[in-house]
Amino acid sequence: MTTVREVTLDLLRSFGMTTIFGNPGSTEETFLHAFPGDFRYVLALQEAAVVGIADGYAQA
């Protein structure tokens, strides 16, 4: 059976999105468990910083 996690990662790959920005909490723990090697996770310590970092990355 395909999981929501697998479908989400496949969808992101199909759009060429392999960099994920976040400030993970306990709800994201299962998503980050066994994080795929073809993705990069950029950790920030506060939600507002994550938005700015992702926005700058998208505009670069």
| Domains in the chain, number | 1
Average pLDDT over residues 20-40: 88
Is residue 29's pLDDT more than 90?
no
So what's the pLDDT on residue 16?
96
φ/ψ (deg, to 5) at 33: -65, 130
Average pLDDT over residues 15-35: 89
Domain holding 12, by residue range, is 4-59
20, 39 contact by CB (below 8 A) = yes
Average pLDDT over residues 11-36: 90
41, 32 contact by CB (below 8 A) = yes
Q: How confident is the model at residue 5 (pLDDT cuts 50, 70, 90)?
A: confident
Quote the pTM value: 0.77
